[in-house]
């Protein structure tokens, strides 16, 4: 069946819904990253080990991603995406509140699972919505807006949460500071739900088969396996390096550089937002430029370059000084943002609409299991193999560099096997 040819508004006319989606992503990823900034205080209160922190920070996000990302992707392809986005936003808000009152590691694990499920599931819906708000040639810039929201949220997870932690001192409402921060954050997230009520479901574009059966959709993805498999491997490897960095950066700064959350929160938040902003702009422009080049896999060439630059930047934990640490980590975050945005654009351009949600859901499931579930725990395991928790910094560097090299090779294969032409 022919693709839907609904009128395509200009980017200026869809600025509000794109902005609301960005705000939603900012809220979701602030909720998802909030615990990492204050995890050392939670570790001391609840008597947690690094391995347990790896489970809470990593596996707690990976398990629901593995279980729900594909179902969420299917729902995105078939259901009202705006209502789904709102439901997932309510889930991450509740998970943040429950984090504040978690009495032990098990309940903390469940609370972080809820938060991660809401944020990453909503990302699938946001990408699908953003793609249908504009024409293919503009999607790099549309995804840029959504990615900026995600980046702002990641920055707030460091900057806002760390600043609140320092300001609360001995705590609030009878709660320790790390718990009080999550109560306050949950209230902010609840307010962020209000603009989501203004969103409306856009018409779906580039639909090759109306109401396609799941088997047909799966076959469409299988025929593109030579392209999708290395693309997934490349971006999952980048996610492994980036998530490990974001999860373990605060403990490294505390243990190896002697800094508390209130001492690094401001500049870390600014660093993540600034490099994320630059990465989103570069990624969006590179994706649109790559499409205009007309070359096979051109949309992904910027991702290959970014992965090659990001691999050595993963040495930031052993930089030797705080300024060098900041510069190298900033390069890593910038390159990770570039590859993530370009990968998202490639999926919306080279995969038919009826399969996009499932495809993105599969990607998030794989990235979640490996990038969240395995990578942080792998850092703790490597650290243990090297002699204990005192070796966290070199262990983080080793995992980052190895996964970065894998990403470079995988993106090169994805470019070689990319479909000859985008979906129309």
pLDDT digits (tens, 9 = 90+) for 287-326: 888 877 777 778 899 999 999 999 999 999 999 899 999 9
The mean pLDDT value for 78-99 works out to 93
Whole-angstrom CA distances from 203 to 21, 196, 206, 219 are 16, 18, 10, 24
Q: Taking Cα atoms as reference points, which of 389, 144, 178, 163 lies closest to residue 268?
A: 163
Q: Where are the domains of the chain?
A: 12-196+220-416
Instruction: Provide the b/e sequence for 279-315 (b: ≥16 CB within 10 Å).
Output: bbbbbbbbbbebbeeeeebbbbbbbbbbbbebbebbb
d(CA 45, CA 41): 6
d(CA 233, CA 240): 10
Are 348 and 288 in contact by the 8 Å Cβ rule? The answer is: no
| DSSP states of 20-43 | HHHHHHHHHHHHHHHHHHHHHHHH
Flag whether pLDDT at 424 surpasses 70.
no
d(CA 198, CA 211): 27
Are 20 and 199 in contact by the 8 Å Cβ rule? The answer is: yes
Q: Taking Cα atoms as reference points, which of 376, 373, 367, 350 lies closest to residue 69?
A: 367
Flag whether pLDDT at 211 surpasses 90.
no
d(CA 410, CA 243): 19
User: At a CB cut-off of 8 Å and minimum separation 6, what does 415 contact?
Assistant: 296, 297, 300, 301, 304
| Largest Cα span, the chain | 63
Question: Residue 120, CB half-sphere, CA atoms under 13 Å: how many?
Answer: 33
Tell me yes or no: is domain 12-196+220-416 CATH 1.10.10.10.
Answer: no
d(CA 81, CA 29): 19
Whole-angstrom CA distances from 377 to 1, 367, 382 are 47, 14, 9
Burial classification of residue 12, based on how many CB atoms lie within 10 Å of its CB (0-12 exposed, 13-18 middle, 19 or more buried): exposed
| DSSP states of 179-231 | HHHHHHHHHHHHHHTGGGGG--PPPP-S-SSTT--HHHHHHHHHHTHHHHHHH
pLDDT reported for residue 10? 54
Give Cα 247 to chain centroid, integer Å. Answer: 12
d(CA 232, CA 346): 11
pLDDT digits (tens, 9 = 90+) for 28-62: 999 988 888 888 888 889 988 887 887 787 777 77
pTM of the model: 0.66
3-state secondary structure (DSSP) of residue 175: strand
Flag whether pLDDT at 91 surpasses 50.
yes
d(CA 366, CA 372): 9
Instruction: Provide the b/e sequence for 171-191 (b: ≥16 CB within 10 Å).
Output: ebeeebbbbbbbbbbbebbbe
d(CA 342, CA 280): 9
pLDDT reported for residue 3? 43
The mean pLDDT value for 159-186 works out to 83
Are 32 and 88 in contact by the 8 Å Cβ rule? The answer is: no
Q: Which of 97-101, 330-334, 338-342 has the lowest mean pLDDT?
A: 338-342
pLDDT digits (tens, 9 = 90+) for 362-419: 776 777 677 767 777 788 889 989 988 888 999 999 999 999 999 999 999 999 888 8
Please report how the helices 105-132 and 353-367 are oriented relative to each other, as an axis angle in degrees rounded to 10: 150
d(CA 220, CA 362): 14
| DSSP states of 88-154 | HHHHHHHHHHHHHT--SHHHHHHHHHHHHHHHHHHHHHHHHHHHHTS-GGGHHHHHHHHHHHHHHHH
């Amino acid at each position: 069946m022919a693709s839907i040819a609904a009128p395509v508004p200009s980017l200026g006319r869809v600025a509000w819904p794109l902005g609301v989606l960005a705000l939603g992503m900012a809220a979701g990823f602030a909720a998802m990253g909030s615990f990492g900034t204050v995890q050392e205080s939670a570790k001391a209160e609840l008597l947690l080990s690094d391995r347990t922190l790896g489970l809470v920070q990593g596996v707690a996000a990976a398990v629901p991603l593995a279980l729900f990302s594909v179902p969420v992707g299917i729902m995105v392809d078939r259901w009202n995406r705006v209502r789904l986005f709102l439901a997932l936003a309510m889930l991450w808000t509740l998970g943040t509140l429950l984090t504040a009152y978690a009495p032990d590691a098990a309940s903390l694990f469940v609370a972080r699972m809820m938060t991660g499920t809401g944020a990453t599931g909503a990302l699938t819906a946001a990408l699908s919505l953003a793609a249908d708000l504009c024409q293919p040639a503009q999607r790099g810039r549309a995804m840029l807006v959504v990615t900026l929201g995600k980046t702002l949220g990641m920055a707030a997870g460091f900057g806002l949460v760390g600043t609140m932690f320092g300001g609360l001192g001995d705590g609030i409402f009878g709660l320790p500071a790390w718990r009080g921060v999550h109560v306050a954050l949950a209230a902010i997230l609840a307010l962020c739900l209000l603009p989501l009520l203004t969103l409306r479901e856009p018409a779906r574009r580039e639909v090759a088969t109306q109401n396609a059966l799941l088997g047909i959709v799966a076959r469409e993805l299988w025929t593109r396996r030579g392209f999708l498999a290395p693309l997934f491997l490349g971006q999952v490897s980048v996610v492994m390096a980036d998530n490990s960095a974001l999860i373990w950066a605060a403990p490294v700064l505390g243990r190896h550089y002697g800094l508390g959350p209130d001492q690094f929160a401001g500049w870390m938040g600014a660093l993540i937002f600034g490099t994320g902003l630059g990465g989103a702009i570069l990624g969006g422009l590179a994706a649109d430029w790559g499409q205009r080049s007309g070359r096979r896999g051109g949309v992904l060439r910027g991702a290959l370059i970014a992965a090659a630059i990001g691999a050595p930047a993963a040495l930031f934990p052993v930089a030797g000084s705080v300024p060098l640490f900041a510069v190298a980590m900033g390069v890593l975050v910038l390159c990770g943002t570039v590859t993530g945005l370009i990968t998202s654009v490639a999926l919306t351009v080279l995969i038919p609409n009826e399969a996009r949600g499932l495809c993105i859901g599969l990607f998030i499931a794989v990235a979640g299991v490996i990038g969240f579930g395995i990578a942080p725990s792998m850092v703790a395991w490597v650290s243990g193999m090297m002699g204990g928790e005192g070796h966290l910094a070199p262990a983080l560097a080793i995992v980052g560099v190895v996964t970065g090299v894998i990403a470079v090779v995988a993106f090169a294969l994805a470019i070689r096997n990319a479909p000859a032409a985008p979906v129309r």
